Amino acid sequence: MRGSRRLTASILLAAICAPGTWLRTDVPQTMPTGIEFERIAAASETGTPQWSVAGVWHYTSKPSRYFGGFSALLPLGEGQLQAFSDRGARFTFGEPDLPGETAPQSRPEQIVELQRVAPEHAFDLWDIESVTRDPATRDYWLGFEGVHAIHRFSAASEIEDVRILDGEVDWYFNSGAEAMLRLDDGRFVIIPEGRAEALIYASDPVEGGAPTSVEFVSPAPEFAVTAAAQLPDGRVLLLMRDVVWGAPPFDGMLAIADAPPASPDTPWQAEVLFRFDGVIPAENYEGLATREMADGRVAVWVIADDNFSVQQRTLLVKLIFDPSAPLAN
């Protein structure tokens, strides 16, 4: 009997600590202060051709509803990143490996703000899951979960147009536009959470127009796409996380695909490029940003959504992808 009670207690503890369930950090309804980061892993090789780790950093703040839960990541001007959260916050910060910087420390350029949305949706649009940007205008688009929506903002974060997708899609309330990408050719791609499809819009989706649905062929059915970014050569990099329910940690990887096909009859096939297991700390990685380096390599940043859980962390990882490096024999 004692063993049975112990097993039941263990199962209950795992359940309540799991992301999306009951036990989360008790946080005040105030903006975060005392944001700090600590480098927890140095540069290293990965054992995977073309890939290396530049560093891993752990970000913390004094308890706040608006720090953590980062599900989308955007590269800004040189040396800056911007993360968006499940609680409608926008975190702008300098890359932690900038020359002359040391960690851990607080940095004055780290700013957390609430993401303003169209006033008529002020109480509906807050769970941000994806982001993409037009490199020419610097306008950006956010994908929201719950009330499924795509919202466009100016480079200065001024409110522009919004499109509510409820009624157009059959996504569950707690799933939606998990990954969104504006391609170099002006098309937009949305990959819904847990679906074997990609929605392709011919242009800015908030301006109207129905999408084309293309079959998305995952390289690992037990993984789901959480973010996407386009590489300088036009291929699409896909951040993926395993979807087996349970307590963390989670497994993650990066996949790659050519740009989505023009024909709805042609499946969009991705393949595994780099697995995280045993290389970087296991976490709930949901945000992805890339930046081309002067030598032709690509800095690949990924950020973890801690789900405001006592068992998870806000980790930022910098990987280096060298597409010109030789593959192993």
Cross-strand partners of 236 = 230, 257
Residue 91 has pLDDT above 90, yes or no: yes
| Cβ proximity of 172 and 224 under 8 Å | no
State the pLDDT at residue 156: 95
Q: pTM for this structure?
A: 0.89
Classify residue 68: in a domain, yes or no: yes
Classify residue 9: in a domain, yes or no: no
**pLDDT tens figures, 179-194:** 999 999 999 999 998 7
pLDDT > 70 fraction of the chain, expressed in percent and rounded:
86
**DSSP 8-state assignment for residue 296:** S
pLDDT > 90 fraction of the chain, expressed in percent and rounded:
71
State the pLDDT at residue 315: 97
pLDDT band at 16, cuts 50/70/90? Answer: very low
Residue 27 has pLDDT above 80, yes or no: no
Cross-strand partners of 90 = 84, 113
Classify residue 139: in a domain, yes or no: yes
Q: How far is 223 from 282, CA to CA, in rounded Å?
A: 14
State the pLDDT at residue 26: 59
State the pLDDT at residue 106: 44
Range of the domain at 138: 36-321
Residue 41 has pLDDT above 60, yes or no: yes
* Region 151-167 average pLDDT: 95
Report the CATH number that the domain containing residue 224 is assigned in CATH.
2.120.10
Residue 227 has pLDDT above 80, yes or no: yes
Classify residue 130: in a domain, yes or no: yes
pLDDT band at 22, cuts 50/70/90? Answer: very low
What is the total count of domains within the chain?
1
Q: Report the 3 state secondary structure along 195-261.
A: CCEEEEECCCHHHCCCCEEEEEECCCCCEEEEEEEECCCCCEEEEEEECCCCCCCCCEEEEEECCCC
Residue 105 has pLDDT above 70, yes or no: no
Classify residue 7: in a domain, yes or no: no
Classify residue 240: in a domain, yes or no: yes
> CB-based contacts of 160: which residues, under 8 Å, 6+ apart?
139, 151, 152, 153, 154, 206
| Cβ proximity of 100 and 54 under 8 Å | no
Classify residue 214: in a domain, yes or no: yes
State the pLDDT at residue 192: 93
Classify residue 137: in a domain, yes or no: yes
Higher-confidence position of 303 and 174: 303
**H or E segment and range at residue 99:** none
